[in-house]
Structures are given as C-alpha cells and as structure tokens.
Amino acid sequence: MVGKLNYLHNRGVLDWVIQRTSAALLAIYTIGMIGFLIANPNLEFETWRNLFSSPLMRVFSLVTLLFLCGHMWVGMWTVITDYLTPLQLGSYAKPIQSLCQIGIISLIIFYAIWGTFVFWSI
C-alpha cells in the first residue's frame, strides 16, 4: 500500500506513516515476545538475559522503543487536538494544548532515555 511517498513532507502523511509502521513493528515485537514466553515456560533469568544481550535483540528492542515513542506522540497529539479545542475550552485551548504537549514530550523523552538505559544495561 505504501509506495514512493511523494507527499511525506506533509505532516499529516508523515504522522499517518509513523502510526501505521510503528503499529506493525509493535505487533511483530509483541508476537515475538509472546512466542518466546510460550517457548520458555520455565523462564529463568539467564535465558532472559541471553535473549536481550544479543546485539540483534538489543537493536530490535531499541528500534521498537523509538517507534513506540513516535506512536505515542502521534496518538497523544491527535487526542489533544481532538478534545482540547476552542469549542470546549474557548481561549484557554491553546495554552492548555501547549502545556499538555510539553508534558507528553517530556514524558516520552524520559521513557526513551530510561528504556535505552534498561536495554543497554542487561
């Protein structure tokens, strides 16, 4: 479905592509993890550690984390601009939207740094 992406410079198209590709990657990661847990019913710390200490898994996990952050941002930005509009909040809408966006960006940056630290420290 996704082709040459001639219109990717448009914010709406970019957001849409981020949301869809990240959703697909998150689904693959989740299914992979569920498969791993099913394949290892008596999971021990060593097995868990071995999985995440392989460079491939580390990179895959970090890329998934990055896509999760993108997914979160697009989703939350959409929710904010759907529900916190001048129709509901009048002239307070813009400052409240900005405040929420700053809060969400801070939280996403915190999650990204924390997640990277967790994956890299295994």
Partner 1 sequence: MLVSIYRYNPETDDKPYTQSLEIKLPEGKDLMVLDVLALAKQEDPSVAYRRSCREGVCGSDGMNINGTNGLACITPVSNVVGPDNKLTLRPLPGLPVIRDLVVDLTTFYKQFEKVKPYLVNDQPAPDKERLQSPEERKKLDGLYECILCACCSTSCPSFWWNPEKFIGPAGLLQAYRFLADSRDTSTEQRLEALGDPFSVFRCRGIMNCVSVCPKGLNPTRAIGHIKSMLVS
Residues that bind partner 1 (CB under 8 A): 1-7, 9-13, 15-17, 78, 81-83, 85, 87
Task: Find out whether 17 and 5 touch, Cβ atoms under 8 Å.
Answer: yes
Q: At 33, list the tokens.
A: 């993890």
Which CB sits closer to partner 1, 57 or 108?
A: 108
Amino acid identity at 22:
S
Which CB sits closer to partner 1, 61 or 70?
A: 70
Which CB sits closer to partner 1, 23 or 122?
A: 23
**Rounded to the nearest whole angstrom, what is the least distance from the CB of residue 107 to partner 1 in the complex?**
21
Q: At what angle do helices 55-83 and 45-53 cross, to 10 degrees?
A: 80
